[in-house]
Structure 1
Amino acid sequence: MLNISPNRLNRQVDLMPYKSSQKVFHVKHYKHFNRFLLAFSFIGLIVLFLPWTQTISGTGYLTTLNPEHRPQTIQSPIPGRIEKWYVQEGDFVKKGDTILFISEVKNEYFDPNLISRTGDQIRAKSMAVTSYQGKVKALNSQIGALNRERQLKLEQARNKLLQAKLKVKSDSIDLEAAKTNITIAQRQYDRVVQLENEGLKAITDVEEKRLKLQETQAKLISQENTLLASRNEIINASVEINRIQAEYTDKISKAQSDMFTAQSNQFDSEAQVTKLENEYTNYEVRSQMHYIRAPQSGFINKALQAGIGETFKEGDKLVGIMPSEYAMAVETYVEPLDLPLIHIGEKVRIQFDGWPAIIFSGWPNVSYGTYGGKVVAIETFISSNGKYRVLLAPDPEDQPWPKDIRVGSGANTLALLEDVAIWYELWRQLNGFPPNYYQPEENMAQNKTK
């Protein structure tokens, strides 16, 4: 029966009349299985030519689209000591609400009346500036008066010089007249002496002419003295002009020196006033920094500095805050090999942690539980994890993201690429080839237009 020996019994004895033999030795017992294999092969062949969407998978987490909407910490720009808390963890605060009050820890700011006393110093220095300004004006007036007085004195001295010069001319003319007179007197005297020798004139006439000649000589000498005195007056007038110039130059220079000193003191006082005003403004702003306020509306996450009386340095983190209004986004990372395939505006499917999903990577349309995303930013420098960061925003053409997702939760992403046949994708995966390199349709259209 088992046909173990070379003498096969089924060839010598006809077993087909028996029912058991008919059921066992039936020649067509593989018919249904062969049909199944044929149909499965035909279906499989058709499936190989079905479209398959190439994808790039990545992992990331939820974040916000705008940097200002991301969780942040509040720091103090000045060192201080915590005096009072106005909020608790989990409280909602509006922009500008006070979170805590701090006090100073530096000894130069301990004075409670520091601002008012600085204001008093500013007022005192401002009065000093006003005084110096008045002194400068007075000295300017004094310099103007000295210039006018010098001008008048110089005019007076020049007039005297002119008068002396005119007098010299007059005396010179008188001297020439005296010389003419003495010549005439000398001739008359000589003529009378000659006539007296001839006996025509008396001795009295000679003596009279001699007396007149002597008087004329005396007048000549007197006129010479007068001319010399007039010339001396010219010299004196010139000396007086130089003296006036030197005297008023000295007075004006001294007044100008005093004015420049007053101006220097004025500018120095103005600089001190400006410095004090700067310090006053700094003290005012610093006093406002004693109240740590919320930079935007949100929820207090965690107090990073706790207790009362605890000190901290400038820039230390005090409390964490999460903005109440934000636009969600997904921050995912892709391999450097896949980076050239990612373009701005491409579609991405996202699965959020905690949200059930059934994913068919090649058939995104039949996937369940995934949400649409759109590439809005691609990092141009590699991250510390050896991948490139890609930022995804909600796709406005797809269903909205769940409202209960929170910033920081995980997400898996599938970037949708080119549609290829399944046989091509299997061949690519078996050979370890990357997805097809291509350009989006918009970029290709722009290139054709150019």
Structure 2
Amino acid sequence: MLNISDNKTKLQPLDRFATVKNLTNRPHYKILNKIIAVVSIIAVTALFLPWTQNISGSGSVTTLKPDQRPQSIQSVISGRLEKWYVQEGDFVKKGDTIVFISEIKEDYMDPNLVQNTKNQIDAKKQSLQSYSSKVTTLSGQIEAIEREKILKQEQAQNKIKQSRLKIESDSMDLVAVKTQLKIANTQYNRAVQLNKEGLKPLTDIEEKRLKLQEVEAKIITQENKYLTSKNELINSKVEINRISAEYAEKVSKANSDKFTALSSQYDTDAQVNKLENQYANYSIRNGMYYIKASQNGYINRALQSGLGETIKEGTAIATIMPSQYDIAVETFVNPIDLPLLSKGEKVRVWFDGWPTIVFSGWPNMSYGTFGGEIVAIENFISENGKYRVLIAPDKNEDKWPKQLSIGAGAQTIALLHNVPVWFEIWRTLNGFPPNYYKPTTKTTKEKK
């Protein structure tokens, strides 16, 4: 304290008391000291024992493949429930009818809708054949017009040649008549001259004058023939142009009718395809009134009940559990432990309701656990804030129990690195993550 007083007290040793002297002589305290010493030695020795680092997780039993998990049977079309063919718990095979629904949309209520659509298709096909025949006929007609045009043009060309030859002939005749006129005029002048000289009678002059007049009349006629021949040549040329224009018009009209028929044919063909599409859709829709099982399994639960209720497209009718499946476990781990996991890593699994004794650090001493192997690691965090890991049975260890049901709880331990116990205690107290572990892969490289 403040040490104000000068009085000094001396502590008396405890050995002066008899009770204290007797404490050191009692035998059970010696035994306690030995126990403490042995426990301390065991504890220190245990600190150097090997400890397997691990990552724990919890999840449930599921299936390895997505198509083996419980799934719902849905209705592709809307309708009204008419008849159930199964009840909950029944085993169904693939293709067995679950429920029958009737139509509720007015567009499909006609009971003869499929047959009527088939009749429309047949009628349109006959119309398509008619248009095809019309196109073929018009094509033949166009070919006939083209052939007739060629013949008409050849005929006109021949007529042109005849006109030209006739012109040449008339031209030669005109030249001959002109020569005759010249001769007749010379003879007439000679007769007049001889008559003046008294060598020819007047009757000869009259004959020569008459002959001259005949030749003059003949030359006029021949000139008319020559001009007529020229007109015939011009008419022949006009005729060949008329023929070309006439048959071009005929061909154009036939081609127009042909293209109109082709357009109608293509339009009818499109209508036929559309009707065939509708016919196929109606036929498939008729088969959708019977909702069937997609695979072998058990009907777990009927999600729709009663008769006469209407359902929409995509409405779940019932749930089915496949009868054949490969069991697996889905577990969830913390994000901090995700980098430590990889495909092919070994995992220990134990199931709820199965007798189990677990030592997480000493997996070989655990009882009731089963071997597993990581087959898939989800790269996106789940709604619970953890990452999903899929585990399949390890083929090198004992098989998992057959009595396991889908959805049962499961606990998992992913085995990492082996470290001393003191290191694991020190790591846990400091909040450090487990040692990073990578599976070793054997690779060989050839060196020259």
Query: TM-score range, shorter-chain basis?
Result: over 0.9
2:33 is matched with 34
Q: C-alpha separation between the residues in 2 aligned to 1:110 and 1:204?
A: 120
| Partner residue, 1:116 | 115
Name 1:322's counterpart in structure 2.
Answer: 321
* 1:86 pairs with 2:107: no
The letter for the 1-side match of 2:372 is G
Q: Residues 224 and 127 of structure 1: is their aligned pair in 2 closer, same or farther, counting only changes over 3 Å? A: same
Letter in 2 for 1:54: Q
- Distance in 1, Cα, partners of 2:108 & 2:366: 65
Q: Distance in 2 between matches of 1:418 and 1:378?
A: 20
Q: Does 1:135 align with 2:131?
A: no
User: Match for residue 410 of structure 1?
Assistant: 409
Alpha-carbon separation, structure 1, partners of 2:15 and 2:298: 92
In structure 2, C-alpha distance between the alignment counterparts of 1:45 and 1:33, rounded to whole Å: 18
Give 1:304's aligned amino acid.
L
**For residues 29 and 69 of structure 1, do their structure 2 counterparts lie closer, same or farther at Cα, with a shift above 3 Å needed?**
closer
For residues 235-274 of structure 1, what are the structure 2 equivalents within 5 Å? 235-274=234-273
For residue 355 of structure 2, what is the aligned residue in structure 1? 356
> For residue 440 of structure 2, what is the aligned residue in structure 1?
441
Distance apart, 1:449 and its partner CA:
8.7
**2:326 is the alignment partner of 1:334:** no
**How far does the alpha carbon of each residue in 1:61-98 deviate from its partner, in whole angstroms, 9 at most, with x for none?**
11110000000001111000010000000000000001
- Alpha-carbon displacement from aligned partner over 1:255-312 (angstroms, at most 9, x marks no partner): 2222222222222211111111111111110000000000000000000011111111
Separation in 1 of the partners of 2:302 and 2:28? 79
Residue 7 (structure 1) shift = 8.9
Partner in structure 2 of residue 204 of structure 1: 203
Q: 1:138 to 1:341 in 2, by over 3 A?
A: same
**DSSP 3-state at the match of 1:337:** helix
- Structure 1 position 369 matched with structure 2 position 368: yes
Note closer, same or farther for the CA distance 1:449–1:303 as it changes in structure 2 (3 Å cut): farther
Q: Are 1:54 and 2:18 matched, yes or no? A: no
Does structure 1 residue 311 correspond to structure 2 residue 310? yes
The amino acid of 2:124's aligned partner reads: K
Tell me the distance in 1 between the aligned counterparts of 2:352 and 2:185.
148
| Cα offset, 1:199, TM superposition | 2.2
Contact between 2:15 and 2:21, CA under 8 Å: does it hold in 1? no
CA distance in 1 between partners of 2:413 and 2:211 (Å): 146
Within 5 Å, give how 1:273-288 maps onto structure 2.
Answer: 273-288=272-287
In structure 1, what is the Cα distance between the partners aligned to 2:398 and 2:356? 15
Which segment drifts farther, 182-191 or 381-390?
182-191
**For 2:160, what is the secondary structure of its paired residue?**
helix
- 3-state SS in 1 of match to 2:379: coil
Contact 2:92 2:293 in 1 (8 A): yes
Which residue does 1:185 correspond to in 2? 184
| SS of structure 2 residue aligned to 1:441 | coil
Shift of 1:246: 2.0
Alpha-carbon spacing, 1:71–1:29, altered in 2? closer, same or farther (3 Å):
closer
Alpha-carbon distance between aligned partners in 2 of 1:40 and 1:323, rounded to the nearest angstrom: 57
Which deviates further from its counterpart, 389-398 or 238-247?
Answer: 238-247
After TM superposition, the structure 1 stretch with the greater mean CA deviation from structure 2, 82-91 or 235-244, is 235-244
Give the fraction of aligned pairs with identical amino acids, expressed as a percent. Answer: 59
| Post-superposition offset of 1:182 | 1.5
Residues 21/224 of structure 1: CA separation in 2 closer, same or farther (3 Å cut): closer
Secondary structure in 2 matching 1:338: helix
**In 1: Cα distance, 2:126 partner to 2:80 partner:** 38
Does residue 106 in structure 1 map to residue 105 in structure 2? yes
Which residues of structure 2 form unaligned runs of 5+?
A: 1-10
Number of corresponding residues: 438
Unaligned 5+ runs, structure 1: none
| Offset at residue 253 of structure 1 (A) | 1.8
Distance 2:339 2:374 in 1: 13
Seen in structure 2, the aligned counterparts of structure 1 residues 148 and 95 have a Cα distance that, compared at 3 Å, is same
What's the CA shift for 1:134? 1.5
Distance 1:393 1:169, change over 3 A: same
Taking structure 2 as the reference length, the TM-score comes to 0.93
C-alpha RMSD over aligned residues: 2.3
Aligned counterpart, 1:421: 420
User: What SS does the aligned partner of 2:87 have?
Assistant: coil
Q: Per-residue displacement from partner, 1:312-353 (whole Å, max 9, x unpaired)?
A: 100011100000000011111111111110000000111111
Q: 1:215 to 1:425 in 2, by over 3 A?
A: same
Normalised TM-score (structure 1): 0.92
Answer with 418-427 or 206-215: which moved more.
206-215
1:21-71 C-alpha deviation (Å, 9 max, x unpaired): 997552876443333333333322222121111000111111110000000
Q: Is the 8 A contact 2:297 2:320 kept in 1?
A: yes
Describe the shift of the 1:49–1:200 C-alpha distance in structure 2 as closer, same or farther (beyond 3 A): same
Structure 1 residues 438 and 447: alpha-carbon distance in aligned structure 2, compared to 1, 3 A threshold = farther
